[in-house]
Copies of this chain bind each other. A is one copy, B any other.
Amino acid sequence: MKWTDKAWESIQPLLHTIFQMPFIQELQSGTLPLEKFQFYMQQDAKYLEHFGRVLAALGSKSEDNRQALDFFEFGKNALVVEKVLHETYFSQFGIASDHPIEIGPVCHHYIHFLKSVAAFEPLEVAMAAVLPCFWIYKVVGDKIFENQSNAQNPYEAWIATYSGTDFADGVTLAKYYVDTMAEQTTEAMQTRMLEAFISASRLEFMFWDAAYAQKVW
């Protein structure tokens, strides 16, 4: 059994909760209040700035050139998507793109968890910690896309970007690297990887939950 299979199994209850949470349900039906989506998108932009830095930092610690290169590319893509958010979706969804966004408490927590792990924990653990942001996003994105009940979902264009094949390829690659590292390490390390994966998965849930509540400090 692959490490990623075991990891996925371990977050099934959480995934179920995510699929059912109001933010995701209303995003799918197109009934999510605009201000909640705006809040989410702004926090996501800040998240991506930091997530991109984490991915490149992980690449810089990888022994394998191919993995390093792919993680620099992942890092770059996160920043490119952040730019698209600012330059396209922000105006489309009525967000001023020229004033600074204050990072809310959950986004702040998630960002700094990933950066801390990238710096202080073994690379295997850090690689496991960044995986939920790829994988859960992909699965949630696909689910929303498949179940869109509303032909005029105002969030349709945005949803489409996360269910594309480019993003899917990235997820496959990230999983492959994590599985490879898991295979080459000890059981104790695999357990630490799992803990980091679960912590990050919880933060994915909390991120959407905080967006729905528009949670500030």
Contact = CB atoms under 8 A, between A and B. Distances in A.
Interface of A: 49, 52-54, 56-57, 59-62, 65, 68-69, 71-73, 75-76, 79-80, 82-83, 105, 108-109, 111-120, 122-123, 184-186, 188, 199, 202, 206, 217
A46 B61 CA distance: 15
Tell me the dominant secondary structure on chain A's binding face. Answer: helix
Copies per assembly: 4
Contacts of A114: 116
Contacts of A206: 105
A86 B117 CA distance: 25
A71 to B, nearest CB: 8
Contacts of A75: 56, 59-60, 68, 72
B65 A120 contact: no
A11 to B, nearest CB: 13
Contact of A69 (B59, B61, B79, B202): B79
A109 B113 CA distance: 7
Contact of A108 (B79, B109, B119): B109
A120 B60 contact: yes
